[in-house]
A and B are shown apart, each in its own frame.
Chain A
């Protein structure tokens, strides 16, 4: 399985990346300032820093949700800036799994439909989709809640569904933005354990944005941002 996944895990590089919101206006905000960063395949990195330091912006750039104002983001050595919006969508669909702080499940879909959503977009055949969704829900311990709607789930359950959805298309890059931010400590620990386990099982890269030092401690590499710049980049032995 790991051999199959290996080519799907991207090597990512950021060169002098700057991101300015509202450029040219009085309210212009420089969220990132000249970031240089390399994320080899299989990296497990935490991104820490105070609110507004650019953590989510960095995550959005890594996951191709956003493009830099200046500088270059490379995936497997290729600048993603030259790719069309459609191509970037395709890369996200096939190779990136997003996990948001507020879960962001679609309220009109059931648990299993939410998990199937990325597979539907990738035109995975229905039986395969069903089977894979059932496996993922079993993996996150929610087989019994397959027909439930998001508003019928607890916060911890919603985040587990979100993780299952993020894993649906066997992505090589998992991007988690404060995944335990809305959970109590027991649920937070459980969700974090799950994230760490699924990453290890798949040998995927995981970028974990968090305020919480305990959560960050689970990563092997630790980035600290302040005012849009990387002030610390430490890898544990």
Chain B
């Protein structure tokens, strides 16, 4: 071997090592990004759910699935351990503003005096209190199934919508259950409310809040004063006594009591929703890891190729070691160690790269991606396990190279 060639081989070996590390780092970056962002988003949603305020949700399918919302809420308040109950009707409507823009908005009809006490601390901070909707109890215009009217024509709009369409308090907008403005009613914007950070922005955060009875009239196509309206809602949010809220079994008991009163409605606890969300997050994490395993397999394949290539280039060195008397096991251990070091380097590089990518997305990503990236959570335990797994898996790549090393014909290599 000439001196120049030997020197070149040294450099070549280093380049191969760098390439192997880069390949492994690329493979590790993907799970770091997916799991950190996915986990962060899920944790945020679960946290939001747990911070909602109410603990039980009574719901029914259909626009007016809960047919006697006011009366049903009152029934719930009669149950032991139930402290608050707020009927809510959620209907997508079109909002026509003064500039002629039309945008779909999720309108929520509420009874202000019942709705506000069901809010958690985070959500209640988003609303102007008391809600400036003109009728705190929603009783003036709704009585015994007959709409007394006229509507207050007061509406609160989400600040996201207001910013997007330059709508201010004091302006007026038309809310319509159809895409036709003539089907709608003109409302005065009496306030703005914030929306919790969500991944469904911008359209999902376009929201309006108005009196339940007014939204019932609106969805009943504005039948007008003196006419019967469906006392419909789709949800009743229920706050239970603190002692029951803190105990899953007590909460489940309250849920059973509520279910007994409304056997045809669905009764869920937020803790079960959080569990479902967590379960969905676990499934997604598994999916992310399965997806990442493809990249990981390619990375390991590359590592194996680099290690085998090294063995081929170093056949003579391996033969020299064995001729000297270095045990085959030591030669194998050196190859496995080499693979583990490269994999560890790649793993750590991938963690750093993943962190940089997520921070980059949080700074320069498009709106939804940016928000998701901002919620990313880097779990040291997960990252350590990921690097450890990569190092452990590198043993497979190393074993391929070890097999190649053991097949080196000692005498032939020394010839």
Contact between chains at A100 and B414 (CB < 8 Å) = yes
Contact between chains at A104 and B414 (CB < 8 Å) = yes
Of the listed stretches B3-11, B24-32, B142-150, B201-209, chain A binds B3-11
Partner of A89, one of B317, B320, B327: B327
- Please report which residues of chain B, range 294-341, place their CB below 8 angstroms from some CB of chain A when the two chains form the complex: 316-317, 320-328, 330
The size of the chain B interface, using a CB distance under 8 A, is 23
B75 to chain A, nearest CB (A): 82
Of the listed stretches A72-80, A91-99, A131-139, A218-226, chain B binds A91-99
A122 to chain B, nearest CB (A): 8
Contact between chains at A104 and B327 (CB < 8 Å) = no
Residues of B within 8 A of A65 (CB): 323, 410-411, 414
Interchain Cβ contacts under 8 Å between A and B, 7 examples: A65-B414, A86-B328, A89-B325, A91-B325, A93-B326, A104-B316, A108-B10
Contact between chains at A104 and B325 (CB < 8 Å) = no
Contact between chains at A121 and B3 (CB < 8 Å) = no
Residues of A within 8 A of B410 (CB): 65
Contact between chains at A107 and B9 (CB < 8 Å) = yes
Contact between chains at B326 and A89 (CB < 8 Å) = yes
B293 located at the interface, meaning its Cβ lies under 8 Å from any Cβ of chain A in the complex = no
Given A65-B410, A86-B328, A108-B10; 10 other pairs, CB 8 A cutoff: A86-B327, A89-B322, A90-B327, A96-B325, A98-B323, A100-B414, A107-B1, A108-B13, A151-B4, A151-B7
CA distance A150 to B1 in the complex (A): 10
Contact between chains at A121 and B317 (CB < 8 Å) = no
Contact between chains at A90 and B325 (CB < 8 Å) = yes
Query: Assuming the A-B contacts A93-B324, A93-B326, A98-B323, are A151 and B3 also in contact, with contact meaning beta carbons closer than 8 angstroms in the complex?
Result: yes
The winner among B1, B323, B324 for most chain A CB atoms within 10 A is B324
Query: Assuming the A-B contacts A100-B414, A104-B414, A107-B9, are A92 and B323 also in contact, with contact meaning beta carbons closer than 8 angstroms in the complex?
Result: yes
- Please report which residues of chain B, range 1-50, place their CB below 8 angstroms from some CB of chain A when the two chains form the complex: 1, 3-4, 6-7, 9-10, 13
- Please report which residues of chain B, range 164-216, place their CB below 8 angstroms from some CB of chain A when the two chains form the complex: none
CA distance A14 to B300 in the complex (A): 48
Contact between chains at B320 and A107 (CB < 8 Å) = no
Please give me the 7 A-B residue pairs with the lowest Cβ-Cβ distance, nearest first.
A93-B325, A92-B325, A151-B6, A151-B3, A121-B326, A107-B6, A104-B320
Contact between chains at A98 and B324 (CB < 8 Å) = yes
A84 to chain B, nearest CB (A): 11
Q: A177: nearest residue on chain B (CB-CB)?
A: B414
Q: Mark A107-119, 1 if CB is under 8 A from B, else 0.
A: 1100000000110
Contact between chains at A92 and B411 (CB < 8 Å) = no
Residues of B within 8 A of A93 (CB): 324-327
Contact between chains at A106 and B325 (CB < 8 Å) = no
Contact between chains at B411 and A117 (CB < 8 Å) = no
Contact between chains at A89 and B10 (CB < 8 Å) = no
Partner of B327, one of A121, A150, A169: A121
Query: Assuming the A-B contacts A89-B322, A107-B9, A150-B6, are A66 and B411 also in contact, with contact meaning beta carbons closer than 8 angstroms in the complex?
Result: yes
Contact between chains at A85 and B325 (CB < 8 Å) = no
A152 to chain B, nearest CB (A): 7
Contact between chains at A121 and B325 (CB < 8 Å) = yes
Q: A98: nearest residue on chain B (CB-CB)?
A: B323
CA distance A208 to B51 in the complex (A): 86
A187 located at the interface, meaning its Cβ lies under 8 Å from any Cβ of chain B in the complex = no
Residues of B within 8 A of A66 (CB): 411
Contact between chains at A117 and B326 (CB < 8 Å) = yes
Query: Assuming the A-B contacts A65-B410, A107-B6, are A121 and B324 also in contact, with contact meaning beta carbons closer than 8 angstroms in the complex?
Result: yes
A60 located at the interface, meaning its Cβ lies under 8 Å from any Cβ of chain B in the complex = yes
Residues of B within 8 A of A151 (CB): 1, 3-4, 6-7, 10
Contact between chains at A106 and B317 (CB < 8 Å) = yes
Partner of A117, one of B3, B10, B321, B327: B321
Residues of B within 8 A of A90 (CB): 325, 327
CA distance A175 to B218 in the complex (A): 103
CA distance A233 to B324 in the complex (A): 28
CA distance A21 to B414 in the complex (A): 15
B160 to chain A, nearest CB (A): 62
Q: A169: nearest residue on chain B (CB-CB)?
A: B325
Query: Assuming the A-B contacts A60-B411, A66-B411, are A117 and B323 also in contact, with contact meaning beta carbons closer than 8 angstroms in the complex?
Result: no
Q: Mark A159-179, 1 if CB is under 8 A from B, else 0.
A: 000000100010000000000
CA distance A98 to B4 in the complex (A): 26
Residues of B within 8 A of A91 (CB): 325
The winner among B13, B321, B324, B325 for most chain A CB atoms within 10 A is B325
- Please report which residues of chain B, range 70-120, place their CB below 8 angstroms from some CB of chain A when the two chains form the complex: none
Q: B410: nearest residue on chain A (CB-CB)?
A: A65
A121 to chain B, nearest CB (A): 4
Residues of A within 8 A of B327 (CB): 86, 89-90, 93, 121
B271 to chain A, nearest CB (A): 59
Q: B4: nearest residue on chain A (CB-CB)?
A: A151
B116 to chain A, nearest CB (A): 74
Residues of B within 8 A of A152 (CB): 3
Q: B317: nearest residue on chain A (CB-CB)?
A: A106
Residues of B within 8 A of A169 (CB): 325
The winner among B327, B328, B410 for most chain A CB atoms within 10 A is B327
Q: Mark A55-89, 1 if CB is under 8 A from B, else 0.
A: 00000100101100000000000000000011001
Residues of B within 8 A of A117 (CB): 321, 324, 326
